[in-house]
Amino acid sequence: MRAQAPVVSRMGGTRRRAIRPRAVVVCGLLAAAVLLVCVVALGVGDISVSPGEVVSVLLGGGERTDRLVVIEWRLPRVLAAVVFGAALAVSGAIFQSLTRNPLASPDILGFSAGSHTGALIVIILFSGGYAEVASGALAGGLLSAVGVYLLSVRTGLQGFRLIVVGIALASTLGAVNTWMLLRADRDAAMTATAWGTGTLSTVTWDRVVPATVLIVVVLIVLRLLAPLLSHLELGDDAARALGLRVESAKLALIVVGVALIAVPTAISGPIAFVALAAPHIARLLLRGRALVLTATALTGSLVLATADLTAQHLWRTPLPVGVATVVLGGAYLVWLLLYEIRRTRS
């Protein structure tokens, strides 16, 4: 499965000589789809707001009640879905490119399990509030990422070793998390379980704005590191021949990838499969191995915003968005495995 991992290109697209009209069209259509889903999400609910009124409110007009519903109640959640989806997708693309494996993602490499462990420790042992839980999740995820890196780097940072170590660590932490939940009292266990499913229902302006700023800063850093990605696409030996310090470059990109998933996870809990599926969907839309990160980010935004809209309104009882992404992502993972098996046999 390693040979077909998507190749990550520069943030604004592929190298300048390789920019294709199809990539521009796909990005435009994805952006339009994201805007459409956002308008629908801002308008539907117990208090309905028509699409025209939603647009009017976003442009600074509208009635006071509509502004309250759209701006104060619904827009933080929709903005979080768009921004967090983009961050998760780009993070997945980075890890898939570094490992040259289409199944690599922060979910599989153990970061989400580490975040869950950190949050459980704070919730169960210290009865921490929102800020403490977010900090614990961030610390747990970062520590798990450091652990995976240190255990993988002894003989050089190889993609296969990184994946195997990540899966092993994720399995171990998953067992620890289950044990802690079984030992916790009922209230703490319910709180921890709700956080662990991944939800955007607790997102407010004072949480989503700092998170958005941090994610934008990290994406700018990634844009500055684009030459490293371009060289690593050629393979480790070719990159070394060009004078690149391969291990240092990979470490820098791992830090960026971890940061892109750390911020959404700290705010909303682990949201599975977006990081895995979005890069593949973008590559299918582009019909090529070179993966435009802009298209990947827009695909992640569309996937998460659509999943959250579905989870809120498809059933009588709203579901956490993490439940919807697990269902959709699990089906996609099965399809991906079957596709790779057919491709290998042929």
- Burial of residue 178 (number of CB atoms within 10 Å: 0-12, 13-18, 19+): exposed
DSSP 8-state code for residue 314: S
Question: Could you tell me which residues come within 8 angstroms of residue 247 by beta carbon, excluding any fewer than 6 positions away?
Answer: 153, 156, 157
Distance CA(114)–CA(122), nearest Å, equals 13
Residue 288 has pLDDT above 70, yes or no: no
Q: What percent of the chain has pLDDT over 70?
A: 91
Query: In sequence order, what are the residues at sequence separation of 6 or more whose Cβ sits closer than 8 angstroms to the Cβ of residue 331?
Result: none
285 SS3 class = helix
88 touches 263 (CB < 8 A): no
60 — pLDDT class (breaks 50, 70, 90): confident
Helix (H) or strand (E) holding 290: strand 290-291
The predicted model gives 178-191 an average pLDDT of 85
Q: Is a pLDDT exceeding 90 seen at residue 10?
A: no
Concatenated DSSP letters of 235-257: -HHHHHHTT--HHHHHHHHHHHH
The superfamily (CATH) of domain 89-96+104-332 is: ABC transporter involved in vitamin B12 uptake, BtuC (1.10.3470.10)
Query: What pLDDT does residue 289 have?
Result: 56
The residues, ordered by sequence, that sit 6+ positions from 37 with a Cβ below 8 Å of its Cβ are 302, 305, 306, 309
126 has a pLDDT exceeding 80: yes
Task: Count Cβ atoms within 10 A of the Cβ of residue 276 and give its class: 0-12 exposed, 13-18 middle, 19 or more buried.
Answer: buried
pLDDT digit string, tens, across residues 193-236: 878 888 998 899 999 999 999 999 999 999 888 788 777 777 77
Query: How many degrees, rounded to 5, is the angle at CA 24 between CA 22 and CA 27?
Result: 105
Cβ-contact 304, 88 below 8 angstroms: yes
**pTM to 2 decimals?**
0.87
Residue 127 pLDDT class (50, 70, 90 cuts): confident
